[in-house]
């Protein structure tokens, strides 16, 4: 009975302690929500013309470039120094492309799909000479081989169950490589 009397006499103190604990809990949650807003800025690798470049977007560009290098060189592994060099190269290329795009936007310059198709049809770009779509006799880029590949790729996507896995992987890698070349053609033309 004496213990209950002691607890009752300390009632206002217990209410204050519980109130402070509840306030601390609410304050902690408020701080977490403020930190999550500031974490957005931490998720950026840089800023170009006031627009942030997210870690995710940059990593996708690095992965795309690594896949291109793997496809063209056959090298499937890279050491830390090579990956760091590739990251630097991707960043420099990205910044240059953003600067060029911004200046071209100010001037009203764009590259249309028809212009890209004309470059592909003529086959004069050095980028096209790096693709496997070259004529065996002349060694020059052959737009017909590219068209055949793209048609084969579309039919392969429709019949995935009938294709061996290694063909699917190769066609997907080659398609991704072509998408990179096409994007690079557009950027070079700009």
Q: What is the pLDDT of residues 84-117, one digit of tens each?
A: 999 999 999 999 988 998 998 888 888 888 998 8
Identify the CA nearest to 129 among candidates 145, 115, 110. Answer: 145
Contact predicate 92/65, CB 8 Å: no
Based on the number of CB atoms within 10 Å of its own CB, is 111 exposed (0-12), middle (13-18) or buried (19 or more)?
middle
| This prediction's pTM | 0.70
Nearest to 129 by CA among 145, 142, 116: 142
Tens digit of each residue's pLDDT (9 = 90 or more) over 16-71: 887 777 778 887 887 777 776 555 556 888 888 878 888 898 899 999 999 888 88
Upper half-sphere CA count for residue 119 (Cβ side, 13 Å): 20
Report the C-alpha gap between 148 and 185 in whole angstroms. Answer: 20
The CA-atom distances, in angstroms, between 131 and each of 10, 73, 102, 152 are: 83, 12, 29, 17
* DSSP string for 147-187: HHHHHHHHHHHHTGGGS-HHHHHHHHHHHHHHHHHHHHHHH
| pLDDT 10s digits, 144-170 | 888 998 888 888 887 777 777 788 888
- Label residue 10 by pLDDT band (50, 70, 90): confident
Query: What DSSP string describes 20-43?
Result: HHHHHHHHHHHHHHHHHHHHHHHT
Give the C-alpha separation, 84 to 67, whole Å. 15
The confidence score (pLDDT) of residue 120 equals 87
The total number of residues shown for the chain amounts to: 190
Of all residues in the chain, the percent with pLDDT exceeding 90 is 9
DSSP state of 79: -
Task: Count the helices and strands in the chain (H runs, E runs).
Answer: 8, 2
Name the residue among 54, 56, 36 with its Cα closest to residue 46.
54
Question: How far is 63 from 70, CA to CA, in rounded Å?
Answer: 10
């Amino acid at each position: 009975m004496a213990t209950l009397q002691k607890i009752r006499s300390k009632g206002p103190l217990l209410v204050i302690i519980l109130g402070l604990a509840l306030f601390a809990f609410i304050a902690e949650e408020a701080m977490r929500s403020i930190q999550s807003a500031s974490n957005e800025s931490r998720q950026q690798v840089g800023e170009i013309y006031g627009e942030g470049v997210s870690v995710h977007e940059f990593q996708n560009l690095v992965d795309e470039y690594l896949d291109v290098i793997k496809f063209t060189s056959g090298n499937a592994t890279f050491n830390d120094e090579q990956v760091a060099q590739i990251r630097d190269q991707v960043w420099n290329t990205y910044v240059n492309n953003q600067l060029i795009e911004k200046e071209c936007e100010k001037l009203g310059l764009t590259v249309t799909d028809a212009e890209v198709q004309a470059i592909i049809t003529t086959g004069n770009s050095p980028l096209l000479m790096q693709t496997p779509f070259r004529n065996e006799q002349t060694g020059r880029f052959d737009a017909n081989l590219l068209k055949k590949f793209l048609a084969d790729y579309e039919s392969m996507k429709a019949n995935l169950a009938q294709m061996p896995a290694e063909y699917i992987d190769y066609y997907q890698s080659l398609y991704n490589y072509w998408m990179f070349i096409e994007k690079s053609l557009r950027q070079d033309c700009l």
